[in-house]
């Protein structure tokens, strides 16, 4: 959330407002005040501006409710959410990783539009019940009904990265069994919808002379860019799936008896080979590791009578991965669990170790041509 203002947490989920939202907030207040003046000419100026401000704040909360529904369902489905950010074109729930199954993605995606539509219908019912009580209340409820209904319907357009695009991807994914193929179709659909919106916005602006239609073109342009970026990102991820843990794991390390004191020259030599750990042997078998960080955290004055076995981290504390697992999947799991290192094991035999930093370096070292970007 580096370009955002942190405003707090809801259900433990950090909420941020991108600086671009300030522009939307002020613009919306201005547009609502003009609309109120057109609907009720001659009305008090303070009433007009107060109604516009309250409507805009509730619009903000409507978008937040939409994104919160995504996040809450995602968390319940086992997908961690790092935060929600509202920006110039709406909002985004930042999921730690994509859904693992088509049905999970379908549920997480569709709950947002459904929340907006249900909220809109409730506001319409409330408007009908309170009709005639207050011009401001009627204006506020009717506009919020239109906003939420529009938000729900627009987000159901079947193009990535809109919710409807994710619903489309989940359906194609479920039918074909190919996440990558489903992403291709949803991203291309998003680019197509974006292009149509750009054309509609420019066409209506030229025909009517109303510059407000330019906003439609801007939204369309945003969809084209976002769909293209999502496509390339997923393309890179798909390419990474061809690389295995065995391509990046460490297979050469120093292993020392557990009774070796920290002051031993053997320990210094073990760390001189470029690795940031040494293995610890107990009863002739490697049963733990000592990292540079663990060594630094040990009390320096006690090194002479402190052994590797006393400060080691047991291998049982490390996660275990297979050498044939995709680097991308393992790196995603390590990021999610905030793990720095995993043990590579096959048939109960330790083959090596994979560190998050080494895996990230390997990914960054791949050329664009290898990633087919």
Tell me the C-alpha distance between 23 and 19, whole Å: 8
pLDDT at 371: 45
pLDDT at 109: 93
277 within 8 A of 290, measured Cβ to Cβ: yes
pLDDT at 107: 94
Q: Which of 352, 331, 340, 344 is nearest to 279 (CA)?
A: 352
Q: Which two tokens stand for residue 211?
A: 């510059």
Pairing status of strand 277-282 against strand 285-291? antiparallel
184 SS3 class: helix
Mean per-residue pLDDT pooled into runs of 10, the chain (373 residues): 72 84 83 84 84 89 91 89 77 78 93 94 93 85 92 90 92 91 92 92 82 78 88 76 83 88 88 80 88 85 88 85 84 75 83 82 64 41
CATH architecture of 245-371: Roll (3.10)
- Preceding peptide of 42 cis, ω within 30°: no
pLDDT at 1: 46
pLDDT at 366: 67
Domain regions of the chain by residue span: 4-156, 175-240, 245-371
Element (H, E) at 277: strand 277-282
> Which residues, at least 6 apart from 288, have a Cβ–Cβ distance to it below 8 Å?
258, 279, 280, 282, 308, 309, 312, 313, 314, 315
Q: Which two tokens stand for residue 28?
A: 């919306």
Tell me the C-alpha distance between 153 and 121, whole Å: 13
Tell me the C-alpha distance between 59 and 268, whole Å: 62
Q: What is the dihedral of CA 80, 86, 89, 91, to 10 degrees?
A: 30
Distances (CA, A) of 219 to 199, 212, 226, 230, 268: 11, 12, 10, 16, 59
């Amino acid at each position: 959330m580096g370009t955002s203002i942190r405003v707090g947490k809801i259900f433990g989920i950090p909420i941020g407002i991108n600086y671009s939202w300030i522009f939307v907030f002020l613009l919306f207040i201005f547009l609502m005040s003009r609309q109120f003046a057109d609907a009720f000419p001659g009305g008090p100026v303070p009433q007009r501006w107060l109604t516009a401000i309250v409507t805009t704040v509730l619009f903000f909360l409507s978008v937040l409710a939409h994104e919160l529904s995504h996040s809450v369902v995602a968390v319940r489905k086992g997908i961690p959410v790092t935060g929600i950010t509202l920006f110039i074109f709406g909002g985004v729930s930042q999921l730690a990783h994509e859904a693992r199954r088509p049905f999970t993605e379908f549920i997480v995606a569709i709950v947002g539009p459904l929340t907006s539509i249900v909220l809109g219908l409730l506001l319409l019912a409330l408007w009908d019940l309170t009709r005639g009580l207050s011009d401001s209340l009627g204006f506020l409820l009717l506009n919020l009904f239109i906003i939420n209904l529009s938000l729900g319907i627009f987000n159901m357009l079947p193009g990535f990265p809109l919710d409807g695009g994710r619903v489309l991807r989940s359906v194609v994914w479920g039918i074909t069994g190919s996440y990558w193929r489903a992403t291709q179709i949803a991203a291309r659909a998003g680019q197509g919808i974006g292009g149509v919106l750009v054309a509609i916005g420019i066409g209506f602006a030229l025909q009517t002379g109303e510059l407000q239609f330019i906003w439609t073109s801007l939204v369309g342009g945003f969809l084209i860019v976002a769909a293209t970026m999502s496509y390339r990102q997923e393309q890179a991820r798909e390419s990474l799936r061809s690389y295995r843990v065995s391509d990046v794991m460490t297979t050469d390390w120093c292993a020392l008896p557990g009774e070796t004191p920290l002051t031993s020259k053997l320990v210094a030599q073990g760390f001189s080979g470029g690795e940031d750990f040494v293995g610890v042997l107990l009863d002739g078998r490697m049963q733990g590791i000592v990292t540079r960080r663990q060594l630094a955290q040990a009390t320096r004055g006690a090194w002479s009578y402190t052994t590797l076995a006393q400060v080691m981290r047991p291998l049982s504390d490390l996660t275990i991965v297979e050498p044939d697992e995709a680097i991308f999947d393992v790196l995603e799991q390590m990021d999610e669990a905030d793990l720095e290192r995993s043990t590579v094991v096959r048939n109960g035999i330790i083959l090596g170790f994979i560190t998050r930093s080494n895996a990230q370096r390997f990914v960054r070292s791949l050329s664009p041509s290898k990633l087919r970007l």
